[in-house]
A and B are shown apart, each in its own frame.
Chain A
Amino acid sequence: MTDPRTSIISERLKKIRRIIAVSSGKGGVGKSLIATTLALELANKGRKVGLFDLDFTSPTTHVILGLPDSAKPTEDKGLIPPTVSGLEYMSLVYYTSDRPAPLRGEDTSNALIELLAVTRWSELEYLIIDMPPGIGDAVLDLIRLVEKIEFIIVTTPSRLAFETVKKLANLLKELQVPVIGVVENMKMKGGRDIEYNTKMLSLSYLGGIPFDPNVETAIGKPSALMKTAIAQQVKRFVSSINP
């Protein structure tokens, strides 16, 4: 028995110039907000961008984008993602009707392979992937199946969060997977530890984002999101991704 789906994935992704996974060691560090803001900022700069929510069991990018109920993939020799706020947007939520998706590892892999095999992205310059936390199935599958994958790692100033960043960074280094850099979210005034420790890992420090209480009110409103501290900092580091 052969799983035919993995054979077609490189074909499906070949027209995409760069594929960037926004990842972290721990949950709750702001990955989804940063992934969505990054995708929106690249699109605002006139780039063709897709956003793929791979956090199947706890997806949130649809909430951040304020995904309208009417947005659904079109069926045409596969699935064509709808355009939401200027982004080609794909998520498992189109098919779960907002119900819980209690998936074990093998199911996560299967759903990921299915969506990579049947989603027909257009000729994108960037596909931004919002990852689940940790170094589980999604990270391993992307490394296995997506040749041009690159990572951005998100952390907070917490030593606990950075401890898990080290594990993720070391794994990616061992597997020779490119890491664009580390973003420090909810940065405290004057704190330089994460910047220093990132450099000790021989990784680029992309910047620190101060805690911004306005972010909560901007959820579901992409134009308001682009006025938050997250967006201001993303705008700064986007030039190192999109020179």
Chain B
Amino acid sequence: MHEWALAEAVLKAASEIAEKEQLAEVTEVNISIGELQNVEREIFRFALNQLKPIIFRQARFRFTRAPAVLKCRNCGNNWQLKNQKLDEATKEAIHFVPEVAHSYIKCPKCGSPDFEITQGRGICLRNIKGTRKT
């Protein structure tokens, strides 16, 4: 249910953009969902639809999945999270705060926990589309 908090954040950020761009109605909200945070897409979509302000009543929420890619700062190795086995408790901890990945994941090549999350960390608002006020 932590997805609700993230949905609230997306709608607040999208509303700020809509106001700045003087949109009368938002028709599309494009969101990137990073693999590392492991957000439950359907709960997230449900929360967005439940919480959306009136300006979003016709809006479609479109998701793009961003695979998590990690880069070791020690040896330069790049690897994908999908190739790493994590137990459910670890996945849940990372779901709440993706940075705790540094407590559980190590570079498969050199064993260092000093890596960069180059993509696929969490939720990002890519863009919104809508109709301007006349």
Contact = CB atoms under 8 A, between A and B. Distances in A.
A158 to B, nearest CB: 32
B20 to A, nearest CB: 11
Given A78-B2, A96-B93, A110-B98, A117 B126 contact: no
Contact of A8 (B2, B9, B126): B9
How many A residues touch the partner, as a band?
A: 35 or more
Nearest to B8: A8
Interface of B: 1-2, 4-6, 8-10, 12-14, 16-17, 32, 47, 89, 93-94, 96-100, 102-104, 113-114, 117, 121-126
Interface of A: 1-8, 11, 56, 75-79, 92, 94-97, 99-104, 107-108, 110-111, 114-115, 117-118, 120
Shortest 7 CB-CB distances between A and B: which pairs?
A: A78-B5, A4-B13, A77-B4, A8-B9, A7-B13, A111-B99, A95-B93
A2 B13 contact: yes
Contacts, number: 107
Given A76-B1, A95-B93, A4 B126 contact: no
Nearest to A106: B116
Given A4-B10, A102-B114, A107 B99 contact: yes
A161 B19 CA distance: 47
A108 B114 CA distance: 13
Contacts of B125: 1-4
B2 A101 contact: no
Please classify the interface of chain B as helix (H, G, I), strand (E, B), loop, or mixed, using the class held by over half of its residues.
helix
Given A96-B93, A103-B102, 7 more contacts: A1-B125, A2-B13, A4-B13, A5-B6, A6-B13, A75-B1, A92-B100
Nearest to B47: A77
A78 B12 contact: no
A102 B126 contact: no
B104 A99 contact: yes
B103 A100 contact: yes
B5 A118 contact: yes
Given A96-B93, A107-B102, A1 B126 contact: yes
Nearest to A73: B96
B126 A78 contact: no
B110 to A, nearest CB: 14
Contacts of A78: 1-2, 4-5, 8
A94 B92 CA distance: 11
